[in-house]
Amino acid sequence: MSGEETATATPIVAAPSEPAAPPPPPPAGWRRGLAGVVASQAIGAFTDNAFKVACVFLVAKASTTDTSMRAETFNAFIGVAFLLPFVLFSAIAGPVSDRLGKRGILVGMKMLDAMLFLGAVWAFGLGTPAAYLTVMFLVGTSHAFSGPAKYGILPQLVPAEKLSSANGTIELATFSAIIAGTVAGAAGVQAFGSRPALLGWLLAAVSLLGAALGALIPNLPAISKSGSTNVFSEMFGHFRTIARSRTLRLTVAGIAFFWFFAALFQMNATLYGEKTMELGALKSGLLLASVAVGIGLGAFFAGLVSGGKVELGLVPLGSVGMGVLALTLTWAHANVYVAGAAFFLLGISGGFFMVPLNALLQQEAPDTGKGGMIAANNFIVFSAMLVSTLGYYFLSHHFSPPIVFLVAGIATLLATCYIMWLLPEAFARLMLWFLTRSIYRLTVIGRENVPDRGPALLVCNHVSYADGFLVLASIRRFIRFMVFKAFADAPGLHLLARAMRIIPVDEHSGPKALLRSLQVASEALQNGELVCIFAEGEISRTGQMNPFRGGMERILKHAPGVPVIPVNLDGVWGSIFSRAGGRFLFKMPKRIPYPVTVSFGKHLPHDAPPAVVRQAIHELGVEAAFLRKQNCRSLGEQFVRTSRQQKRKFAAADLSGAKLTHGKLLVKAAYLARALKPAWDGQERVGLLLPPSVGGYVTNCAALLAGKTPVNLNYTAGEESLKSCVEQCGLRNVVTSKAFLEKFPIREIAPFVYLEDIGAKATAGGKIAALLAAALLPVKALMRWAGATRIPEPDDVAAIIFSSGSTGEAKGVQLTHFNLTSNHDSLLQIYEIGPDEVLMGILPFFHSFGFMATMTLPACRGIGVALHPNPLDPAAVGRLCRQFGGSFLLATPTFLQNYTRRCDPGDFGSVKYVITGAEKLPERVRTGFKEKFGIEPLEGYGCTECAPLVSVNGPDFRGRGFHQLGHRHGTIGQASPGIAVRIVDVESGAPLPLGQEGMLMVRGPNVMKGYLGKPEETSNVLKDGWYRTGDIARIDEDGFITITDRLNRFSKIAGEMVPHIKIEEALHQSIGAREQVLIVTAVPDDKKGERLVVLYTLAESKGLIEKLGTLGLPNLWVPREDHFFKIDALPLLGSGKADLRKARDLAKWNLAKSGLM
Indicate the domain borders of the chain.
30-422, 427-631, 635-975, 1054-1157
> Could you tell me the end-to-end alpha-carbon distance of the chain, in angstroms, rounded to an integer?
70
Highest mean pLDDT among 52-66, 186-200, 251-265 belongs to 251-265
pLDDT at 266 over 50: yes
Q: Is 1112 exposed, middle or buried (0-12, 13-18, 19+ CB in 10 A)?
A: exposed
pLDDT at 1067 over 80: yes
Q: Tell me the residue ranges of DSSP E strands in 917-1055.
A: 937-942, 949-952, 957-959, 962-964, 974-975, 980-984, 998-1003, 1010-1011, 1022-1023, 1026-1035, 1041-1046, 1050-1053
DSSP secondary structure of 765-828: HHHHHHHHHHHHS-HHHHHHHHT-SSPPPTTSEEEEEE---SSSS--EEEEEHHHHHHHHHHHH
Pairing outcome for strands 685-689 and 734-736 = parallel
Name the percent of the chain lying above pLDDT 90. Answer: 30
One-letter-per-residue 3-state SS of 232-280: HHHHHHHHHHHHHCHHHHHHHHHHHHHHHHHHHHHHHHHHHHHHHCCCH
What residues are paired with 570 via a beta bridge?
597
pLDDT at position 150: 67
Predicted confidence band at 6 (pLDDT cuts at 50, 70, 90)?
Answer: very low
Fold of 1054-1157: GMP Synthetase; Chain A, domain 3 (3.30.300)
Instruction: State the average pLDDT over residues 284-294.
Output: 73
- The string over 686-716, giving b where at least 16 C-beta atoms fall within 10 Å of a residue's C-beta and e elsewhere, is bbbbbbbbbbbbbbbbbbbbbbbbbbbbbbb
- CATH superfamily, domain 30-422, is MFS general substrate transporter like domains (1.20.1250.20)
For 535-576, what is each residue's pLDDT tens digit?
Answer: 888 888 888 888 887 777 777 767 778 889 999 999 888 777
DSSP secondary structure of 474-519: TSSS-EEEEEEHHHHTSTTTHHHHHHHT-EEE-TTS-HHHHHHHHH
Predicted confidence band at 1022 (pLDDT cuts at 50, 70, 90)?
Answer: very high
User: What distances in angstroms separate CA 7 from CA 228, 462, 601, 603, 618, one per listed residue?
Assistant: 52, 11, 21, 22, 20
Instruction: State the average pLDDT over residues 440-463.
Output: 87
Domains 30-422 and 427-631 share a fold: no
Q: Are 295 and 348 in contact (CB under 8 A)?
A: yes
pLDDT at 616 over 60: yes
For 967-993, what is each residue's pLDDT tens digit?
Answer: 898 899 999 999 999 999 988 889 898
DSSP 604: B
For 46-99, what is each residue's pLDDT tens digit?
Answer: 888 888 888 887 887 776 555 456 666 777 788 778 877 877 776 676 667 666
DSSP secondary structure of 670-691: HHHHHHTHHHHTT-SEEEEE--
Q: Any idea which of 2-16, 328-342, 714-728, 743-757 has the lowest mean pLDDT? A: 2-16
Instruction: State the average pLDDT over residues 1026-1048.
Output: 86
Highest mean pLDDT among 99-113, 239-253, 832-846 belongs to 832-846
CA-angle at 534, arms to 1000 and 442, nearest 5°: 85
pLDDT at position 227: 47
pLDDT at position 232: 63
Q: Using alpha carbons, select from 530, 519, 524 the residue that is nearest to residue 567.
A: 530
Angle between helices 424-438 and 401-422 (to 10 degrees): 100
Fold of 635-975: Rossmann fold (3.40.50)
pLDDT at position 200: 78
DSSP 856: I
pLDDT at 890 over 70: yes
What is the distance between the alpha carbons of residues 327 and 693, in angstroms, rounded to a whole number? Answer: 71
Report the predicted TM-score, pTM, of the whole model to 2 decimal places. Answer: 0.73
pLDDT at 805 over 60: no
* CATH entry, 427-631, from 3.30.413.10, 1.10.3720.10, 3.40.1130.10, 3.40.50.1010: 3.40.1130.10
One-letter-per-residue 3-state SS of 53-100: HHHHHHHHHHHCCCCCCCHHHHHHHHHHHHHHHHHHHHHHHHHHHHHC
